[in-house]
């Protein structure tokens, strides 16, 4: 199973950025743990602060991956374009957030992506990504 994790703007700052909300681990460190934990799964990771790059990566992923885990970060709440990209591809996309966006400001309660996502996982810290990977594996009956 090939899964691509796509992270949006400011998630390159994880570990340093608002640690009281997002924790003190970098995504690179967490990604290494994910690779160790899900040994049988071919995991890839892409991060960009640029909306169009995220859209192009979603288009590419449609050809190459069995599943996508997308944390579009702030673009979740603003980007019709990313929502349309998710709607327009056939690879299943699980939307992920580190924080529980419903406990936060009102503007974070709306997502342009959720309507087109296979599912949404949020509020479990970086473990949200583990749960998203597991959701793909459960579906195909694979444990690891
Ligand atoms: C986030 C939540 C968004 O509201 C925020 O803009 C982010 C991160 C999360 O993972 O909790 O950058 O997507």
Please list the pLDDT of the chain residue by residue as tens digits (144 residues).
999 999 999 999 999 999 999 988 999 999 999 999 999 999 999 999 999 999 999 999 998 999 999 999 999 999 999 999 999 999 999 999 999 999 999 999 999 999 999 999 999 999 999 999 999 999 876 655
Query: Across the strands, what pairs with 3?
Result: 43, 67
Q: Closest Cα to residue 23, out of 107, 128, 108? A: 128
Q: Is the CB of 14 under 6 A from ligand 1?
A: no
| Residue 98 assigned as binding residue | yes
Q: Is the CB of 98 under 6 A from ligand 1?
A: yes
pLDDT of residue 142: 62
Number of H helices, E strands in the chain: 5, 5
Domains of the chain: total: 1
Residue 87 is part of a domain; what is its CATH number?
A: 3.40.50.9100
Distance CA 96, CA 100 (A): 10
pLDDT of residue 141: 64
Atom of ligand 1 nearest to the CA of 96: 10
> Pick the catalytic residue: 22, 75, 112, 129?
22
Instruction: Name the pTM for this structure.
Output: 0.96
Residue 30: which residues within 8 A CB-CB, separation 6 or more?
14, 126, 129
Exposed / middle / buried, residue 64 (Cβ in 10 Å: 0-12, 13-18, 19+)? exposed
Distance CA 123, CA 10 (A): 17
Spacing, Cα 101 to ligand 1 middle (Å): 7
Query: Are 97 and 76 contacting, i.e. CB atoms less than 8 angstroms apart?
Result: yes
Structural domain boundaries, residue 115:
2-140
Atom of ligand 1 nearest to the CA of 10: 12
Distance CA 142, CA 73 (A): 29
pLDDT of residue 140: 73
């Amino acid at each position: 199973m090939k899964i691509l994790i796509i992270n949006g703007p400011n998630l390159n700052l994880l570990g340093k950025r608002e640690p009281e909300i997002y924790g003190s681990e970098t995504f690179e460190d967490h990604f290494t743990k994910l690779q160790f934990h899900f040994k049988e799964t071919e995991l890839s990771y892409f991060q960009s602060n640029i909306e169009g790059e995220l859209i192009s990566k979603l288009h590419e992923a449609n050809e190459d991956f069995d599943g996508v885990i997308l944390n579009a970060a702030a673009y979740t709440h603003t980007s019709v374009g990313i929502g349309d990209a998710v709607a327009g591809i056939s690879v299943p996309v699980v939307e992920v957030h580190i924080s529980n966006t419903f406990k936060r400001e009102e503007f974070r309660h709306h997502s342009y992506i959720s309507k087109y996502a296979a599912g949404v996982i949020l509020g479990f810290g970086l473990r949200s990504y583990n749960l998203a990977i597991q959701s793909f594996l459960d579906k195909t009956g694979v444990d690891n």
